[in-house]
């Protein structure tokens, strides 16, 4: 019998500051580090409050829970691994977040955007899939194809600095970029209407 071990990461700011969220030991699940999250959320300081967020590859939920803690109006977390999705639901209940929706499915499947998320648009999107899966380009293509972004939305892309940056639509502008260890952080802003 195998034991499903859980690891923990903390929420660094907002209403749930200091709370620890558990996440399962699942292959490819790599939570965004405190240092990287601190940088990202300092970039987002003003736009986060009242925003509608999509965490396309939620994993541990570190980015989505951080956004909810910092005042996001709503957060949709997509996670394909059943154990990780169940843990996200458990953490959502434990921390009493009523503005988070967990969807257990593949984030680059067209079906989710044509059914559960049809017609929805987001102010802030996190694109941080397991690096080895190389899903960054597919995720960006889904965002464009299904018109999931509001005007002047922010899209955060976290990838290995060893891989080429994904191609983004011409209407997106690189707002911020930084390297932290083996990670490339990029924050894009979409065009105004």
pLDDT tens-digit map of 127-177: 999 887 889 999 999 999 999 999 999 999 999 989 888 899 999 999 999
d(C-alpha 182, C-alpha 17), whole Å: 26
Q: What is the pLDDT of residue 2?
A: 37
Tokens of 66: 């951080």
pLDDT tens-digit map of 24-60: 777 767 777 777 888 887 887 667 889 999 999 999 9
Q: What is the pLDDT of residue 127?
A: 96
Query: Distance between the two ends of the chain, CA-based, in angstroms?
Result: 56
Q: Which domains does the chain have, with CATH numbers?
A: 6-189 (3.40.50.150)
Q: How many CA atoms lie within 13 A of 139 on its CB side?
A: 26
């Amino acid at each position: 019998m195998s034991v499903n071990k859980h690891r923990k990461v903390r929420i660094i700011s907002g209403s749930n500051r200091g709370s620890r969220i558990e996440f399962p030991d699942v292959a490819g699940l790599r939570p965004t580090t405190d240092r990287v999250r601190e940088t990202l959320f300092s970039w987002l300081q003003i736009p986060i409050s009242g925003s509608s967020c999509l965490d396309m590859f939620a994993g541990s939920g570190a980015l989505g829970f951080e956004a909810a803690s910092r005042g996001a109006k709503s957060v949709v977390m997509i996670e394909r691994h059943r154990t990780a999705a169940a843990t996200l639901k458990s953490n959502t209940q434990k921390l009493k977040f009523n503005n988070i929706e967990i969807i257990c499915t593949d984030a680059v499947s067209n079906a989710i955007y044509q059914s559960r998320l049809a017609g929805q648009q987001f102010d802030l999107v996190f694109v941080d899939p397991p690096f080895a899966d190389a899903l960054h380009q597919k995720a960006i293509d889904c965002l464009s194809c299904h018109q999931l972004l509001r005007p002047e939305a922010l899209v955060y892309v976290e990838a290995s600095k060893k891989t080429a940056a994904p191609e983004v639509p011409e209407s997106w502008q690189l707002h911020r970029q930084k390297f932290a260890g083996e990670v490339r952080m990029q924050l894009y802003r979409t065009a105004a209407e």
